[in-house]
Structure 1
């Protein structure tokens, strides 16, 4: 999570929301993402999506079922769709996003079992270094 905080600081310094994400496989970072919606004028430029893109490129596969996603913030519903599509089995985040989060909002993409090809729901670990991640917003 400390690496996510480092990436979130980079996002904040360039004027984006302070969100950073990494994907880890076998204790090795295989993907990194820095929030960039304002910088790149692209609402889909979320750190989780960028970490997934980085990981699929470095691993040369779309199957990320052996990976753990770490993020400073709960993945939104858009990012949650990508997480489920790539079968990421564990998500660790610090700050919940109650209005559009894929876990804590009314749009529970991370818990949905109705899309059969997604398989089982990912394990969710929340609140890790929450205080430190909240401080990024000061």
Structure 2
């Protein structure tokens, strides 16, 4: 099945969040073409700042597999992940992230930061101290060792903009409605 198919499923989950008054974001985890985890935004209703759609979907998938690692899995989410969710995605070793709308305020898959692409082209030079056999307090420096700077230990493949229009429209309508309600409450 296509990325668009799974993103439409994630949009259905986002609409569930919206019915609860939550920011409409939905996510799912797919392994070998099978949806193994589902989640939608629920930090307000659950009184849990970590209850983002991605976190819910990762938890659901991990419970089903009986393992917090999700190698070979793809996470589909209607909004570009934030830093917290990207950290969980890395720890779970998700192979691929597919998101819908970019998030120009907190997105870390390229909009604000590019966490999954954090490989520095600079090189890091390291002097390794070596302890001599004569005295544990005496150290000598080995020759310089140069390494490429790889800032993070897991890099998921990222595909952004899948059904971005639909995903973005759902969010913009939600926030427009919320602003209208706030104006009415002030009047």
Structure with greater strand share of residues = 2
Residue from 120, 130, 134 that aligns with 2:164: 130
Q: CA RMSD in A?
A: 1.3
Q: Distance in 1 between matches of 2:58 and 2:161?
A: 22
Does 2:82 align with 1:81? no
Task: Give unpaired runs (5+ residues) of structure 1.
Answer: none
2-side partners of 1:47 and 1:3: how far apart?
13
- Stretch deviating more after TM superposition (86-95 or 97-106): 97-106
Shift of 1:104: 2.2
Q: Tell me how far 1:106 sits from its aligned partner.
A: 4.1
Quote how far apart the aligned CAs of 1:47 are: 0.5
Post-superposition shift, 1:135? 2.1
How high is the TM-score relative to the length of structure 2?
A: 0.69
In structure 2, the partner of 1:114 is 151
TM-score (norm 1): 0.92
Gaps of 5+ in 2: 1-6, 119-149, 174-187
- In 2: Cα distance, 1:109 partner to 1:131 partner: 24
The answer as to 2:39 corresponding to 1:2 is: no
| Matched-pair contact (CA < 8 Å) for 2:100–2:162 | yes
- Report Cα offsets for 1:21-79 as digits up to 9, x if no partner: 00000000010011001111221110000100000100111221110000000110000
CA contact (8 A) 1:93 1:126 kept: yes
Aligned with 2:77 (options 49, 71, 74): 71
1:32 counterpart residue number = 38
* In 2: Cα distance, 1:92 partner to 1:86 partner: 15
Residue aligning to 1:62: 68
- Tell which structure's C-alpha radius of gyration is larger: 2
* Over 6 Å off, 4+ runs: none
Work out the number of aligned pairs and report it.
135
Change (3 A) 1:106 1:136: closer
Aligned residue for 2:133?
none
